[in-house]
């Protein structure tokens, strides 16, 4: 009997064809709707491999009820949806998709920074709603980006890529990370600071840290009060790093000038979410790595990892 693979979101046929040649492949039929929990549990019970999304909870319950499961390939660099300790206990290999999305996510992050600072989304809406009647000196005036100070919280590969882009704008780059990176400081000309110093000195605070016990709830009222009232806050990492109520109040009070968000505490959000009602907030639906080229490369890496494990070989990327 062939090993079976369950894919939790509808993917292009061209992506899964290599797997279908050697394995039994079953796939959730919807592209934009997450697989329900009960169906995922049922499918995992007999699966040899899962190809999952960040929205799929691969927890101890699922892992312990899936005796045939050998590998989970997560279509993301993050893996906070997976219980790594439980996976290790039952001998399931966990794979993710690092590196292939670094530059694409950095593009989106810097684009979000620019859109928020220069009020691009607000200006687009202004003209499309027929409000543009004349030119005026301060019409939709935003904030300069060049020669400003950017503070990057989380100097991993994506943080480094954002720093390189910032240098192209002649920005002063500060960073805070769990461990200091002397080689990055030397190569990119960035400066390490404490978390508090970064908040007080930066014109743009960009969050690119992973979600873990140290970073969850990292931004509260206290942190926003430390920031400049002209500062822009950007989160392209994970929503639970930020207390959204604290962020909302900081924007409303004018403690900071605005925010650009690609992630939220609970996703997806709806049109009643208080943050997206604020003109000073630019909101995106978690599309950091969403270019066609990168998403196809991520899918291909998941397929490669699953194939390797099921054939008794070492996967290209595993946790």
The pTM (predicted TM-score) of the whole model is 0.93
Asked if 304 and 223 sit in the same domain, the reply is no
pLDDT of residue 24: 96
Asked if 142 and 255 sit in the same domain, the reply is yes
Asked if 50 and 133 sit in the same domain, the reply is no
Two tokens, residue 286: 């978690």
Domain ranges, residue 306: 4-100+292-310
Q: DSSP labels for 140-207?
A: T-----TT-EEEEE--SHHHHHHHHHHHHTT-EEEEE-SS--HHHHHHH--EE--HHHHHHH-SEEEE
Asked if 166 and 32 sit in the same domain, the reply is no
Mark whether 45 is an active-site residue. Answer: no
Asked if 270 and 174 sit in the same domain, the reply is yes
Domain count, the chain: 2
Asked if 228 and 129 sit in the same domain, the reply is yes
Asked if 126 and 182 sit in the same domain, the reply is yes
pLDDT at 122 over 90: yes
Helix (H) and strand (E) counts for the chain? 12, 12
| SS3 label, residue 219 | strand
CATH code at position 194: 3.40.50.720
Mark whether 79 is an active-site residue. Answer: no
Asked if 108 and 78 sit in the same domain, the reply is no
Asked if 154 and 74 sit in the same domain, the reply is no
Residue closest to 92 by CA, chosen among 310, 300, 316, 301: 310
- Residue 171 banded pLDDT, cuts 50, 70, 90: very high
Percent share of the chain, pLDDT over 70: 100
pLDDT of residue 169: 98
For residue 315, being part of any structural domain is answered with no
User: Average pLDDT for residues 20-25, to the nearest whole number?
Assistant: 94
User: Average pLDDT for residues 284-289, to the nearest whole number?
Assistant: 97
The secondary structure of 243-260, three-state, reads: CHHHHHHHHHHCCCCEEE
pLDDT of residue 39: 98
- Please tell me which residue in 119, 165, 176, 286 is annotated as part of the active site: 286
pLDDT at 1 over 90: no
- Residue 165 banded pLDDT, cuts 50, 70, 90: very high
- Alpha-carbon span 110 to 103, nearest angstrom: 11
Residue spans of beta strands (DSSP E) within 40-158: 49-52, 71-74, 93-95, 149-153
| Helix %, strand %, coil % of the chain (to 5) | 40, 15, 45
User: Average pLDDT for residues 211-240, to the nearest whole number?
Assistant: 97
- Residue 308 banded pLDDT, cuts 50, 70, 90: very high
- Please tell me which residue in 70, 238, 295, 307 is annotated as part of the active site: 238
Mark whether 267 is an active-site residue. Answer: yes
**Under 8 Å CB-to-CB from 227, ≥6 apart: which residues?**
199, 200, 202, 205, 233, 250, 255, 256
For residue 318, being part of any structural domain is answered with no
- Please tell me which residue in 22, 196, 222, 267 is annotated as part of the active site: 267
Mean pLDDT of the chain: 97
- For 250-273, the pLDDT digits (tens) are 999 999 999 999 999 999 999 999
For residue 316, being part of any structural domain is answered with no
pLDDT at 87 over 90: yes
């Amino acid at each position: 009997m062939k090993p079976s693979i369950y894919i939790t979101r509808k993917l292009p046929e061209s992506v899964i064809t290599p797997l279908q040649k050697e394995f039994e492949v079953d796939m959730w039929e919807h592209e934009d709707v997450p697989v329900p929990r009960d169906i995922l549990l049922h499918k995992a019970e007999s699966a040899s491999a899962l190809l999952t999304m960040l929205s799929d909870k691969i927890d101890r319950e699922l892992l312990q009820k899936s005796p045939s499961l050998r590998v989970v390939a997560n279509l993301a660099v993050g893996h906070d949806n997976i219980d790594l300790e439980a996976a290790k206990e039952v001998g399931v290999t966990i794979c993710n998709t690092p590196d292939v999305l670094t530059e694409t996510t950095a593009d989106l992050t810097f684009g979000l920074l620019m859109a928020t600072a220069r009020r691009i989304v607000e200006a687009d809406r202004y003209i499309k709603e027929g409000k543009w009647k004349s030119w005026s000196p301060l019409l939709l005036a935003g904030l300069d980006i060049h020669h400003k100070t950017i503070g990057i919280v989380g100097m991993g590969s994506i943080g480094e890529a954002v720093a390189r882009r910032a240098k192209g704008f002649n920005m002063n780059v500060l960073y805070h990370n769990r461990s200091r990176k002397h080689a990055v400081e030397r190569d990119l000309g960035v400066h390490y600071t404490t978390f508090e110093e970064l908040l007080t000195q930066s014109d743009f605070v960009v969050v690119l840290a992973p979600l873990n016990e140290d970073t969850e709830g990292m931004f509260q009222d206290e942190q926003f009060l430390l920031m400049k009232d002209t500062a822009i806050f950007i989160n392209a990492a994970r929503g639970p790093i930020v207390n959204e109520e604290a962020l909302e109040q900081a924007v409303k009070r004018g403690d900071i000038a605005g925010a650009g968000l690609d992630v939220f505490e609970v996703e997806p959000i709806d049109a009643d979410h208080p943050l997206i009602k604020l003109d000073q907030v630019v909101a995106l639906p978690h599309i950091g790595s969403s270019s066609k080229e990168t998403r196809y490369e991520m899918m291909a890496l998941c397929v490669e990892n699953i194939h390797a494990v099921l054939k008794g070989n070492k996967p290209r990327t595993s946790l």
